[in-house]
Chains A and B, each alone.
Chain A
Amino acid sequence: MYAYELETNPYPSSPTPTEKDARILGGKRHKEAKSAILECIKELSQKVSGRDSNGGDFRVITLIQDVGSGKTHLALHIRNLQSRHNTVCTFLDLSTISPKTMPSLYNAIVKGFEDEFFVQLRTKLLEYIRDRAEQGDNSAKKALDYTFIDRLSGVTIRQEVDDIISGKKGVSVENLKKFLIQRFNHYESTIITSVITNSFDSITNLEELLGRLTAISKLTQRFLGKIILYEIDEFDGNHESIEFVKAIINAHIPASVVLLISTPSGYAEIQSMNASVFDRLEKANYKIDLAGSNSVDELSEIVLEYIKYNDKQGKFKQQAQDDLAEKIRVLYDEFPDFRSVRSIINILYHAIEKSQELNLSKIDEFAIDETIKHTYPGLKVRGSVMDVPISDFIKIRRNCNNEDVGLQLKKAVANLVNFAHEMGNIGKLEKQNQPLDIIYQDPYGSKIGVAVVMNQNHSKNFEEISNVSKSSALVDKLVILTNTNLPSSNSATIVNIDKSKMIDLIYFDSKYTSHKIKTSDNEKAQMLAKTVSII
Chain B
Amino acid sequence: MVLNKIQEMRCMEDEVLKKISSLGINGIKRIELKRTFGINCENILENLIEKQQVFIGKKGNAYFVWTKENYLLKSSQDEPKIKKIQNNITKLIHAKSKITNHMHDVQNTINVLHQINPNIDFKIEFDKCLTESSTSIGWMPFSQIRKKICESKQISSDHFYTLASELVEKHRENYEISSGGKEGIMTRGLVHGFVRNV
Interface window among B45-53, B154-162, B171-179: B171-179
Point out the residues of chain A lying under 8 angstroms from B196, CB to CB: 264, 291
Does A321 reach chain B (CB closer than 8 Å)?
Answer: no
Point out the residues of chain B lying under 8 angstroms from A340, CB to CB: 188
Chain A: interface residue total (CB-CB under 8 A): 27
B residues 131-189 near A (Cβ < 8 Å) are 135-139, 141, 172-173, 176-181, 187-188
Does A487 reach chain B (CB closer than 8 Å)?
Answer: yes
Does B11 reach chain A (CB closer than 8 Å)?
Answer: no
Point out the residues of chain A lying under 8 angstroms from B139, CB to CB: 64, 264, 267-268
On whether the beta carbons of A291 and B138 are closer than 8 Å, the reply is yes
On whether the beta carbons of B180 and A62 are closer than 8 Å, the reply is no
Does A343 reach chain B (CB closer than 8 Å)?
Answer: yes
Bound CA–CA A200/B195 (angstroms): 44
Mark interface residues in A256-295 (1 if CB within 8 Å of B CB, else 0): 0000000111111001000000000010000101011011
On whether the beta carbons of A337 and B188 are closer than 8 Å, the reply is yes
Bound CA–CA A65/B139 (angstroms): 9
Bound CA–CA A264/B193 (angstroms): 9
Chain B residue at minimal CB-CB distance from A292: B198
Does A485 reach chain B (CB closer than 8 Å)?
Answer: yes
On whether the beta carbons of B117 and A271 are closer than 8 Å, the reply is no
Bound CA–CA A485/B115 (angstroms): 10
Bound CA–CA A289/B139 (angstroms): 11
Chain A residue at minimal CB-CB distance from B187: A336
Does B64 reach chain A (CB closer than 8 Å)?
Answer: no
A residues 477-506 near B (Cβ < 8 Å) are 485-487
Given A265-B194, A337-B188, A289–B137 Cβ distance below 8 Å?
Answer: yes
Chain B residue at minimal CB-CB distance from A266: B180
On whether the beta carbons of A67 and B179 are closer than 8 Å, the reply is yes
A490 to chain B, nearest CB (A): 14
A66: contacting residue among B116, B136, B179, CB under 8 A: B179
On whether the beta carbons of A487 and B116 are closer than 8 Å, the reply is yes
Bound CA–CA A497/B120 (angstroms): 21
On whether the beta carbons of A268 and B180 are closer than 8 Å, the reply is yes
A residues 460-488 near B (Cβ < 8 Å) are 485-487
Q: A263, A295, A336: which has the most chain B beta carbons within 10 Å?
A: A336
B180: contacting residue among A264, A271, A343, CB under 8 A: A264
For the A-B complex, the count of residue pairs with Cβ-Cβ distances under 8 Å equals: 65
Chain B: interface residue total (CB-CB under 8 A): 24
Given A263-B179, A336-B188, A487–B115 Cβ distance below 8 Å?
Answer: yes
Point out the residues of chain A lying under 8 angstroms from B180, CB to CB: 263-266, 268
Given A336-B187, A487-B115, A265–B176 Cβ distance below 8 Å?
Answer: no
B116: contacting residue among A267, A336, A486, CB under 8 A: A486
Point out the residues of chain A lying under 8 angstroms from B194, CB to CB: 66, 264-265, 268
Bound CA–CA A264/B178 (angstroms): 7
B178: contacting residue among A263, A287, A343, A485, CB under 8 A: A263
On whether the beta carbons of B181 and A265 are closer than 8 Å, the reply is yes
On whether the beta carbons of B136 and A282 are closer than 8 Å, the reply is yes
Mark interface residues in A237-271 (1 if CB within 8 Å of B CB, else 0): 00000000000000000000000000111111001
Given A291-B176, A291-B198, A267–B188 Cβ distance below 8 Å?
Answer: no
B28 to chain A, nearest CB (A): 58
Given A291-B198, A343-B188, A265–B178 Cβ distance below 8 Å?
Answer: yes
A residues 47-80 near B (Cβ < 8 Å) are 62, 64-67
Given A66-B177, A66-B178, A264–B187 Cβ distance below 8 Å?
Answer: no
Bound CA–CA A271/B141 (angstroms): 12
Point out the residues of chain B lying under 8 angstroms from A292, CB to CB: 176, 198
21 sampled A-B residue pairs with Cβ under 8 A: A64-B137, A64-B139, A66-B179, A263-B179, A264-B194, A265-B179, A267-B139, A271-B135, A287-B136, A287-B137, A289-B137, A289-B138, A291-B196, A291-B198, A292-B176, A292-B198, A294-B176, A295-B198, A337-B188, A343-B188, A485-B117
Report B's interface with A, CB cutoff 8 A: 115-117, 135-139, 141, 172-173, 176-181, 187-188, 192-194, 196, 198
Given A263-B180, A282-B136, A485-B116, output 5 extra A-B contacts at Cβ < 8 Å. Answer: A264-B178, A265-B194, A289-B137, A291-B176, A343-B188
The 4 A-B residue pairs with the shortest CB-CB distance in the complex, in nearest-first order? A265-B180, A66-B178, A264-B139, A264-B194
